[in-house]
Amino acid sequence: MTRVALIFGGRSPEHDVSILSARSVAAAAPRPRIEAIPVCMARDGFFVEPHRSAAILEGRGSADIGDPAFSFETWWRAGHADIVFPLVHGVGGEDGVLQGYLESIDAPYVGSGVAASAVSMDKTHMKHAFAAAKLPIADAVHVTESDWRNERERITRAVTNALRLPYFVKPANSGSSIGVTKVKRDGDLLAAMDLGFTFDDKVLVERGIDAREIEVSVLGNDRPEASLPGEILAARDFYDYEDKYADGKAELVIPAKLGADKIEEVRRLAIAAFKAIGGAGYARVDFFLERGTNRLYVNEINTIPGFTSISMYPKMWEATELKYSRLIERLVELGLERHAARKARRDKAMEWLRGARKIV
């Protein structure tokens, strides 16, 4: 049996979504091969001991305040788990912060490392990585809060000169479409920017594309594979937070109704996007398929995609004949494989250093 510490919760606006993801993974984990041990990160940033975390996961407790006396590092070093499955969505969990902490205590974990997590979470850095890999991306204007305060007129002109309406304003570091606004009139830009800066000090103003929304799941380390694609038919003006989690009216079409050539193209681009940010383990890659031109654009990559009962990532793998329970097991295997490979390289480097000439 592999003992897997499910870290969920966190301090981001996606706290509740994270609980849903962890609840779903804990329920689907294949017993007796995997034992899921819940560890909540409360909204105040402190960890919650496993017994109380299990109650939170079952909806029987509050995740607002953690247990300052509980040390996750001490608990981990006491040998209570074999690997960590981070399911903290958004800032503080998906951006490399949690991954860096796990690296510092030498804990194997599922998913991408520090650099890949940070790059994919920050949409400005993510776009630069995609551009360097020559992936097709939508035109965008990158704006910092400081520049917006001091040069608002210049930036407004830059946006209106570069982009046609409608366009989207997105916080650079946010997920689940939180803080995103579809701007249909130039006069609405101010309110959209104010909302975006509520969640981050950088925003993207991105060209709106009349497109179908296509998603692909990626799985693997050095040799990643892509699932069959799925399509989201939004019930609202766009696939926002309410449409994803509250209303439940969006339609998910899996597999997406695409021709064989387009399916091959979108899977190839998904793997290329995964490699462009140096991903490991798993990720979901989102695309726009422009109506009229039938051209694909890479929208973004999510290194800790939702794992709720309605989430696209596991559903697309199920359509590709990889069952949910086996998917969880495979992710754990990939995390352990990556940790073992990194440890072997570190040990080899230390052996070289021991044979090197002393400099101090």
Higher pLDDT, 358 or 251: 251
- pLDDT of 280 > 70? The answer is yes
Indicate the pLDDT class of residue 13, thresholds 50, 70 and 90. Answer: confident
Looking at residue 241, what is its pLDDT? 55
Specify whether the CB–CB gap between 179 and 173 falls below 8 A: no
DSSP 33: T
User: Over pLDDT 90: what percentage of the chain?
Assistant: 86
- pLDDT of 265 > 80? The answer is yes
The token pair that represents 288 in the structure block: 């726009």
CA distances from 190 to 193, 208, 273 (A): 5, 17, 32
The token pair that represents 216 in the structure block: 């692909």
The pLDDT of 283-293, averaged and rounded, is: 97
CA distance 193 to 182: 11
Specify whether the CB–CB gap between 148 and 205 falls below 8 A: no
The token pair that represents 47 in the structure block: 């960890």
Which of 96, 108, 193 has the alpha carbon at shortest distance from 145?
193
pTM (whole model) above 0.85: yes
CA distance 216 to 78: 39
Specify whether the CB–CB gap between 340 and 242 falls below 8 A: no
CA distances from 68 to 7, 41, 191 (A): 16, 11, 39
Looking at residue 243, what is its pLDDT? 52
Domains in the chain, ordered, with CATH?
2-109 (3.40.50.20), 120-124+127-135+209-322 (3.30.470.20), 139-207 (3.30.1490.20)
The token pair that represents 120 in the structure block: 């994919």
Looking at residue 359, what is its pLDDT? 73
Indicate the pLDDT class of residue 177, thresholds 50, 70 and 90. Answer: confident
Specify whether the CB–CB gap between 298 and 135 falls below 8 A: yes
